Structure 1
């Protein structure tokens, strides 16, 4: 059977967002059970939101895609905060928090670069 493939799956920022989602799930599994409806849920939802908004926005106009990327960026910032809180509460190590921040910085740069490209296309 032929593999079904969608164009947005080729976007590097989408692939990196999926990678971060895997990372977020791994970290969140270390959080205490008391956080299941709090920090755990928020961290995972924010991580998933980056990939969802990137894929959903890619099928729209450039202006709409830019807005979806901004929502992905907003979710990215939530992930930074969730990781920081998890570190401060002792749920994850400094190294795990730093890895999160490095991964998120890479995605952040990709989002901003793609947004700049979309804006420049609109000025042509």
Structure 2
């Protein structure tokens, strides 16, 4: 199966779209601060899922899925901080936070299967 056909990658792409759209509401002075970190982390999740999916060895695949999972945690932290600071309204983050939870569960399952299988 091609990575573009997976539910995991498609959810990660949707999350990246939402994250990139949401940062436009951040204060202008954050253009090169947290805004850049959010977009990089969001793009990294989908990108590392894609790269891991195309690797032949289980070890390499596991590495890229772990990196994607780490980037997902970074993104969650960054969006949470923006919410706490009042930079992004909580209602704007409901869908991204839901996707983060789903993607995290999917990555956990894939990574466990990779270790055990």
Q: TM-score normalized by structure 1?
A: 0.87
1:110 to 97, 106, 112: 106
- Segments ≥4 residues shifted beyond 3 Å: none
Higher mean Cα deviation, 33-42 or 93-102? 93-102
| 1:9 aligned residue | 4
CA distance in 1, matches of 2:40, 2:61: 20
| 2:46 aligned residue | 51
5+ residue gaps, structure 2, are none
CA distance in 2, matches of 1:98, 1:15: 18
CA distance in 2, matches of 1:99, 1:93: 12
5+ residue gaps, structure 1, are 1-5
Q: What's the Cα RMSD here?
A: 1.3
Would you tell me which structure has more helix in proportion to its own residues?
A: 2
Q: After TM superposition, give the deviation of residue 12 of structure 1 in Å.
A: 1.4
